[in-house]
Amino acid sequence: MNSLLSITDIKDDVKDILDLASKIKAGEMEEKPLEGKTLAMIFEKSSTRTRVSFDVGMYQLGGRAIFLSSNDLQMGRGEPISDTAKVLSRFVDGIMIRAIRHSDVVELAKHSDVPVISGLTDLEHPCQALADMLTIKEHLGDWKGKKICFAGDGNNVCNSLLLIAPLLGMDISVACPKGYEPSEDILKTAREYADENNTQIVVSDDIGVALENVDVVYTDVWVSMGDEAEKAKREIDLAPFQVNMDLMSFANDGAIFMHCLPAVRGQEVSADVIDGPKSVVFDQAENRLHAQKAILYHYMKD
């Protein structure tokens, strides 16, 4: 079944989906193309942007969404993921899941007869990356020849950005302390994409190196859901990678600041940056809706 579990699943469709998102945002698409369609939304992790944007997106496309927490499903009481996938496939036209483990989403998609869309796992966040690229094009005019730097923990958001940036002609650097590097498997694939598209990837614990010629500075929370036991250590290790005004001064003129939210002001980003004129974080948040409407159309339209 054709599903979106990773940016690798849309390697050849990224530009088409982003073009579709732009058209949807501009009101240039047919009204209610998913009329009569139903999306099941499974949440193992709490959410603001993912839940609301998918729910509203389905409504605006003419369909409906059903919210299902792990407490609402027998899966939370031990029912095999394969059984859940087979049952839901008899009822709905698509499944969006925000999960703890990427392997569980892969298992769900393996046994599903309808498309499965990852709303986040411990490995990737493809929907966020698509919204980010839509935002970058709106503010910088194009992707090609631009450079994005992700500063902090090489997490799921970082992994998806590493994959999508070279597909769109962007260079990408990751500034992180040793021990916080992105997935080696993701990096291997991203570097293959970079070679194919003549772009550059740099991973460094020297933030000055990573910030060279940067048009986008991006960060995320230091303590993600599931990392709470490491909170004190993470705050010490990641402190030198806080995005503040001094750090932003090393970026190119006209550079923008991005964050997938929620943010902790005073930790990964200073308040004067995230609330300042270079910040586009709320445009990013809005674009989750438009990007996800394009994803829903791409996967669920007959």
The DSSP H or E segment spanning 151 is strand 147-151
Q: Which fold has domain 7-125+288-300?
A: Rossmann fold (3.40.50)
Model pLDDT for residues 44-62, shown as the tens digit of each residue: 988 999 999 999 999 999 9
Using the predicted structure, report yes or no on whether residue 71 has a pLDDT greater than 90.
no
Model pLDDT for residues 88-110, shown as the tens digit of each residue: 999 999 999 999 999 999 999 99
Using the predicted structure, report yes or no on whether residue 221 has a pLDDT greater than 80.
yes
Q: Which fold has domain 128-284?
A: Rossmann fold (3.40.50)
Picking from 179, 174, 178, 170, the residue whose alpha carbon sits closest to that of residue 203 is: 174
Say how many C-beta atoms besides its own lie within 10 A of residue 129's C-beta: 26
Q: Are 284 and 132 in contact (CB under 8 A)?
A: yes
- Specify the pLDDT at position 55: 98
Phi, psi for residue 60 in degrees, rounded to 5? -70, -25
Whether 7-125+288-300 shares its CATH topology with 128-284 is answered yes
* Partners of 42 in the β-ladder: 68, 97
What is this structure's pTM? 0.96
What is the identity of the amino acid at 235? E
Model pLDDT for residues 6-47, shown as the tens digit of each residue: 999 999 999 999 999 999 999 998 889 999 999 999 999 889
Q: Please confirm whether the linkage preceding 262 is cis (ω < 30° from 0).
A: yes
Give the list of residues 6+ apart from residue 40 with CB closer than 8 angstroms, or none. 65, 66, 68, 88, 91, 92, 94, 95, 96
Model pLDDT for residues 233-290, shown as the tens digit of each residue: 999 999 999 999 999 999 999 999 999 999 999 999 999 999 999 999 999 999 999 9
Which residues are known catalytic residues? 98, 125, 128, 220, 260, 288
Adjacency order of strands within the sheet including 147-151: 201-204, 171-175, 147-151, 216-219, 256-259
Domain boundaries, the chain: 7-125+288-300, 128-284
The pLDDT confidence band at residue 230, using thresholds 50, 70 and 90, is confident
